[in-house]
Amino acid sequence: MTSNTALVLAHEDDRGRGRIEAGSLADALRARGLTPLVVHPSDDLPDPATVEAVVVLGSVDSAYDDSLSWLGPERAYLARVVDAGTPTLGVCFGGQILSRVLGGVVERSPHPEVGFVDVTPEGAAASWIDDGPWMQWHFDHFSLPPGARRLAHNDAGLQAFVRGRVVGTQFHPEITADSFAAWRMGWTRESEREVRRDFGIDVDELAARIEGDHAPLAARCARLLDGVLDGRLLKS
């Protein structure tokens, strides 16, 4: 394992699809001299002390579904990551499982969010979490873990937290046209019609917006990653 490795935990059985879903976070890691290693939680994972950063991606599963064979081992591994003090970012499911690891609670959300939704950063977090719309796709939500600090919120509730070197977000900074297309591989046309019915979102139009906004979306993802990697920002 090289010292410039960034471990990316993806939750797709298809490892290739998991690499695609790393989206602009993988690009931002490479731009910072880090090599993304995209793996599934059931793979042979490296010692957390040997990697420079850890990113935990989303999942169609729930972070409280302990019937998942890989969830318990992933939680145990992430506890080791926390103990090692490795800079860590969890997005959506990733933020939720990190909340659990840190003593928080994950449960079904009374306010699910789909599409671009406004998020308000708090305090110094405004220097690396942009105010405004971020991509969302979640039906569960996390609580603020004991000892953690709230970084962002909106009307639906907590949107980001930090404790030590761990940052969890409910939104998806990594979204790209390719990663969204990979998400859609597991959807049916009926499920997309349900999204339009329940949230007023046309999935084709959303895909076009993601593609058209590629540059600003990638830039805000990179700023967020800078905040995670820079311990001074997390302590401010």
Q: Do 167 and 151 touch, CB atoms closer than 8 A?
A: yes
Catalytic residue among 21, 74, 92, 141: 92
CA distance 85 to 81: 6
Q: Catalytic residue at 174?
A: yes
Nearest to 9 by CA among 47, 49, 36: 36
Half-sphere exposure of 225 (CA within 13 A, CB side): 28
CA distance 54 to 3: 13
Angle among Cα 164, 119, 8 to the nearest 5 degrees reads 50
Catalytic residue among 12, 113, 172, 221: 172
Catalytic residue among 12, 113, 174, 221: 174
Neighbours of 207 (CB within 10 A): 15
* Catalytic residue numbers, as ranges: 92, 172, 174
